Structure 1
Amino acid sequence: MLTTLKNAFKVKEIKNRILFTLMILVVVRLGAQLPIPGVSRDVFAAWFEAQTGGAFNFFDQMTGGAFTQMSVFALNITPYITSSIIMQLMTIAIPKLEEMQKDGEDGRKKIREYTRYVTIALAVIEGLAMGIGLYRGGNLMHNNVLDIIMVTAALVAGASLVMWLGEQITEKGIGNGISIILLINIISTIPSDFKLLYDKFLSGKNIVKAGIAGIIILAIILFIVVFVVYLQDGERRIPVQYSKKVVGRKMVGGSTSSIPLKVNTAGVIPIIFASSIMSLPGIILGFIGKTPGGIPGHILAALSSSNWCKPSQPIYSIGLLIYILLVVFFAYFYTSITFNPMEIANNMKKQGGFIPGIRPGKPTVEYLTSILNYVIFIGAIGLCIIAVIPIFFNGYFGANVSFGGTSLIIIAGVVLETIKQIESQMLVRHYTGFLSD
């Protein structure tokens, strides 16, 4: 990876793209420090600390701490991510959007335009909900309707600007802009998490205990990172043979190819969906300002990841089982709407391709479905392992850090994809230079 970056800086065009990306990221981090007028950060920080654990932690991590800072970038790229997921699902459900998706670059541009509109709509809804929540809690300067409008406008403007900055990175920088911004947001929270680990397990301990604790922490982190990279790169290749055919006077075809099925087909989407569903009741009740008691209160506590795996409250770990089931369900659900075995089989048949030992048509569809189900299950189990390990240590040992399996999957996925894009651009540049000579 370091060799790739070193070589990339030798190519002027790629170097300029990397520097442009870094400049945009500096703007994003500066925006995360700009306070919204009329909102007391200290009061909001105290309110945030009073909330029940993990409901807002996941949201704050995705914004790089901008949420707890209550900055103009408090919503950050979360409306855009939600909008992209909604549009991706709608593309499968609505035939017109599906046709638009297949209609080349023009169709994709139209879908991106719709995604922006949905992003703004979501930002307005979320910003208004936050403004009303702050109003109900008495956290606004004058605590009137104008303050609510001001907060909403600032949050919508911030979300819109972050979306635009992400698109500028995609167009003029390196990698997918939104993914890069999400990556830098997550990385920005890691130093404070390591400080928490140091204060909890190393500070004040004798050198032997501190050394053992440090080695265990590093070993766990290293294991998760290696496992994430292995899961992200893992794939099952299905061989495809293309029969020979006569075109004019030439015999063409007869080549061998393969269909790559990624082990983690759905990426981090299942964890994001599951985390969002589990934290949604807590977020809504937090802004409304209600803390239910009795059975509803226990249910809410079970849905919060901060209460899982605690020896003193084992009953709340039922929520972890629900979380795992949701991750597995969304892994199957998301893959089923993005990978169509019947469409793959039909395309293979039209091009004269077949899987060795499998007859074309329905047998191929059944074979692809069975392999896909197996691969999805392995990927879902891998996702659950990555997600549960940090949750276990947070609950059992009190290591209250914000980064977990979701963060590491995002970091590994974005870094690997960006490095591949840099390598591909360097390769294209090399061939262009070779041809021009």
Structure 2
Amino acid sequence: MLRRTSSVGFVSLGCPKALVDSERILTRLRAEGYDISQSYEDSDVVVVNTCGFIESAVEESLDAIGEAMAENGKVVVTGCLGVRAGEIFERFPDVLSITGPQDYDSVMDAIHRAAPPPPDPFTSLIPPGGIKLTPRHYAYLKIAEGCNHKCTFCIIPGMRGPLVSRRADEVLVEAGRLVEAGVRELLVVSQDTSAYGVDLRYAASVHDGREVPAHLVPLARELGRLGVWVRFHYIYPYPHVDKLVPLMADGLVLPYLDVPLQHAAPRILKAMRRPANAEDTMTRIRRWREICPEIAIRSSFIVGFPGETDSDFERLLEFLAEARLDRVGCFEYSPVDGAAANALPGEVPEDIRGERRERLMALQEAISRERLQERIGRRETVLVDEIVEQDTVVARSYADAPEIDGKVYMDYRPGIEVGDFVEVVITDSDFYDLVATPVTLQGDESTG
């Protein structure tokens, strides 16, 4: 008698790095013949990949564990919140297993105990690029784990450990497989992408007959050979990042930098243990724009950090007004369990934190609108993400990462499909999005 195939439910929370962890676990599950279920009731066991970076993420993770326990009862917990196993067990004593991030073997062992795998796995069930939680046309490519920084507001190094880089050939083989599977955009991620290879002392490995050092710039050059969009996230502003910008100007990788600056006031940067200096950063931004005028720069900032004065905040606003960044995310500081910043004096009241965030985002909204208006009339290539009822096409430009940036909207034309590159003319804009008209469809040299 044939045994029923075991089924696993999966809840993935958190950042793109955690999403990649989920994809790796799902790929192993499919390799062993497990079914992946979309419902609690049809699952033999449920995996919850948690986030523990900020308090709201912790609550979301705990809520997800609670829901899985209530609806199914057999739950394996993994991810960043898993490093706080005692707290989770205290609240949910009947969870089957709790592990930290990247502990794939322990997750698989717990699943095996709860729902044994079929005796004859079918590896043909695995797509060429592995199991992905993103749409088919883009994928996150994780090049390292962990972080060597000691930022006072962050607990990621304690959760994910120090920097551990992948060999360049391993990264490039995975990237090649993703492209062969139909991926049109690679989003390169890690906790500190520009530190890639430091722990390996930039040791070279051989790929396609070429020695490729484990270093961001040569890796970017090799990824640029694949003929797809390559986008870099979480770029700490080390000096060698300047060498990445000419590759953007040459069209090898997208002219897009995601640089989390966090603040501009020297006193606050020092309290955060962020070495970046606002004046130096402004000089480098000018130089980047001289080399690659179309470069889009995204950053994130924290307001209301302990000790932040009105003067510090005004310094941040002045920096933003001068830098005219394309995309900005802003977070009110909130204490994170285990973060060194919790012990700093000068707590900023909640109402002031909220007011500062509103002022910053109002300023940035005006800047973003001006930056987008400057692109009206330009001819650009966009990547199609969605087609709504054969009526509206939702796409992204080089300046737009999935989920966090803006979109490009245009009328549908026959022949346009999700995952296509389409040449367009920008016709209108608002605070965050663009409107465009298709000019040339992929594989069609006609214009109109």
State TM-score, norm by structure 1: 0.24
More helix by share: 1
More strand by share: 2
Q: Which has the higher contact order (CA 8 A, sep 6+)?
A: 1
